[in-house]
Structure 1
Amino acid sequence: MPKISALIITLDEAKNIASVIENITFADEIIVVDSFSEDNTVKIAKSYPNVTVYQNTFIDFTSQRNFALGKANHEWILFLDADERVTEPLKNEILNTIKKKQTADAYFFYRKFMFKGKPLHFSGWQTDKNIRLFKKSKAQYTEERLVHEVLKVKGSKSSMKSKLIHYSYSSYDSYKKKMVNYARLKAKELLQKGIKPNAFHFIIKPTFKFFYDYIIRLGFLDGRKGIIICYLNALSVYKRYPILKEISKN
């Protein structure tokens, strides 16, 4: 059986770290790269004998993921966020896939977005997917993207049938904080591209984002949950531009 390196990057994930570690004990090694958390994330992670913990200053998601990738000892990489969980069917699919003689070089996982422990069915998340399983020798995260990072794969791609569970929304404040942090990194990315914010960015883009997710992507069918998620995702788009305007001055 080919061996798997499971990688997790963390910052103040004390509420999630034990659950995600215990969720992926089928991996041959588990590596946690922490951004100097101020809670008990590191202490909890180190309490597991099968976990190796590194601490590395966070610059952006791409560099942090590539740092973690450099610590992996095995060819197959399973890269999870602390708020993601592998279901039993997905675990079996992973293990059955990597032992085949012929495999793809990377696999997309479709994700089921959880809102306070209950699934969100629409609001733009119904087709959400990310590459979470791949061969180390065939992939690297692209440096052009600082957030919502992209894995560049030199080879073939496929998709898993079973879904990954994504416990992204636990509370309004925590999700809002996450969206604002994403906006800050996105602003830095836009600065590198020479984008100058104007009325289109401040008004049209966030408004379009909300109505696209709420109407076109059927967020209204998620009821009050849909309104909250669509609003906060649109807020993240809006927040990029005041931040971009401020850092452009500096």
Structure 2
Amino acid sequence: MTETSAACVRTGPRPKLSVYIIAYNEADKIAAAVESVLWADEVLVLDSNSSDGTATIAAELGATVRQIPFTTFGKLRNDAIAACSHDWVFSLDADERCTPDAKAEIERILSAPDADVYYVPRRNWFMGRWIEHCGWYPDYRQPQLFRKQAMVFDDQAEVHEGFTVNGKIGYFDSAIIQVPFLNLEQLLHKMQRYSTLGARKLERAGKRPTMATALLHGVWAFFRIYVLKLGFLDGWAGFVLALGNFEGTFYRYAKAATAHLKWTPDQH
């Protein structure tokens, strides 16, 4: 990929751009994320009190680091947007990297924007291969380039945060890269953390699933990824992702189902 493929003739200086990166214990990934956006006018790393040196690595590379205690992902993103100094914002997670083509497209869009928020496709690298199926490509997760006032997230959303768009929506042609897991331990760790947050979200919504519904949701999650989304075409990587989706979904509902059980035996 080359930057010239998305180049255009500018009529004047582009608006300034803030990039924010949310992070928690991402020492093995944060450098690649920060280095991919050092061309921006402002790079903020919003760290939630990492204990592995994430903040130090980011600061040494030139990013401005701010500590924001984690409550929910929705509030974290709203706080991150509020911390940005410029009118245009590009959000990047710690496991993502902005590519040269995506940078060139950002520059072109900012010179003559035709929308207020833009979805950006992501290419995912896992188990030594690009994931082409599983619903992971083009993987439009949420708008990642937007005017500061055009995106508001649900403050209460623990995970899989909802958002409101105020303005016109556009789509990138160029993709960024995500490396979600460097090993299976990271996949299991994320499944554990996100299933706990998801269970809290279910409880807050007043839902009381059973273990049977937890199993049904888990089986459906595997079937949707592996069969309907053609995950089997991604080989063992597709199977592992589908299995991880089963586990994450099952435990999300199972944790909500068992939240009110007493695990300790009665004392006699």
1:17 matched residue in structure 2: 30
For 1:178, give the aligned amino acid.
K
Q: Please list every run of 5 or more consecutive structure 2 residues that lacks an aligned counterpart in the other structure.
A: 1-13, 263-268
For 1:154, give the aligned amino acid.
N
1:59 matched residue in structure 2: 71
Measured against aligned partners, the alpha-carbon deviations of 1:184-216 in whole angstroms (never above 9, x if no partner) come to: 111111111110112442221100110111111
CA contact (8 A) 2:122 2:178 kept: yes
TM-superposed deviation, 1:71: 0.7
Q: Structure 2: how far apart are the matches of 1:19 and 1:116?
A: 18
- The TM-score normalised by the length of structure 1 is 0.94
Quick check: 1:237 aligned with 2:249? yes
- The TM-score normalised by the length of structure 2 is 0.88
TM-superposed deviation, 1:144: 4.6
Matched pairs, number: 248
Quick check: 1:27 aligned with 2:40? yes
2:5 matched residue in structure 1: none
1:45 matched residue in structure 2: 58
For residues 144 and 43 of structure 1, do their structure 2 counterparts lie closer, same or farther at Cα, with a shift above 3 Å needed?
Answer: closer
CA contact (8 A) 1:117 1:170 kept: no
Q: Structure 2: how far apart are the matches of 1:136 and 1:233?
A: 33
In the TM superposition, what are the counterparts of 1:106-121 in structure 2 within 5 Å? Answer: 106-121=117-132
For 1:31, give the aligned amino acid.
L
Alignment root-mean-square deviation, CA: 1.5
2-11 or 195-204, larger mean C-alpha shift: 195-204
CA contact (8 A) 2:30 2:54 kept: yes
TM-superposed deviation, 1:119: 0.5
For 2:215, give the aligned amino acid.
I
Q: Which runs of 4+ in 1 moved over 3 A?
A: 246-250
Structure with greater Cα Rg? 2
More strand by share: 1
1:140 matched residue in structure 2: 152
Q: Structure 1: how far apart are the matches of 2:83 and 2:128?
A: 32
In the TM superposition, what are the counterparts of 1:171-250 in structure 2 within 5 Å? Answer: 171-248=183-260
CA contact (8 A) 1:6 1:27 kept: yes
Measured against aligned partners, the alpha-carbon deviations of 1:88-133 in whole angstroms (never above 9, x if no partner) come to: 1111001100110x42110001111110352111122134113111
For residues 199 and 13 of structure 1, do their structure 2 counterparts lie closer, same or farther at Cα, with a shift above 3 Å needed?
Answer: closer
Q: Pick the aligned partner of 1:157 from 155, 164, 169.
A: 169
For residues 124 and 68 of structure 1, do their structure 2 counterparts lie closer, same or farther at Cα, with a shift above 3 Å needed?
Answer: same
Q: Structure 1: how far apart are the matches of 2:162 and 2:35?
A: 27
For residues 117 and 84 of structure 1, do their structure 2 counterparts lie closer, same or farther at Cα, with a shift above 3 Å needed?
Answer: farther
Query: SS of the residue aligned with 1:169?
Result: coil
TM-superposed deviation, 1:56: 1.6
2:133 matched residue in structure 1: 122
Q: Please list every run of 5 or more consecutive structure 1 residues that lacks an aligned counterpart in the other structure.
A: none
For residues 117 and 165 of structure 1, do their structure 2 counterparts lie closer, same or farther at Cα, with a shift above 3 Å needed?
Answer: farther
TM-superposed deviation, 1:145: 2.6
Measured against aligned partners, the alpha-carbon deviations of 1:51-88 in whole angstroms (never above 9, x if no partner) come to: 21111211121111111111111011100001101111
1:167 matched residue in structure 2: 179
For 1:170, give the aligned amino acid.
L
Query: SS of the residue aligned with 2:217?
Result: helix
TM-superposed deviation, 1:151: 2.8
For 2:247, give the aligned amino acid.
L
Tell me the percent identity.
Answer: 33
CA contact (8 A) 1:117 1:167 kept: no
CA contact (8 A) 1:76 1:133 kept: yes
Query: SS of the residue aligned with 1:13?
Result: coil
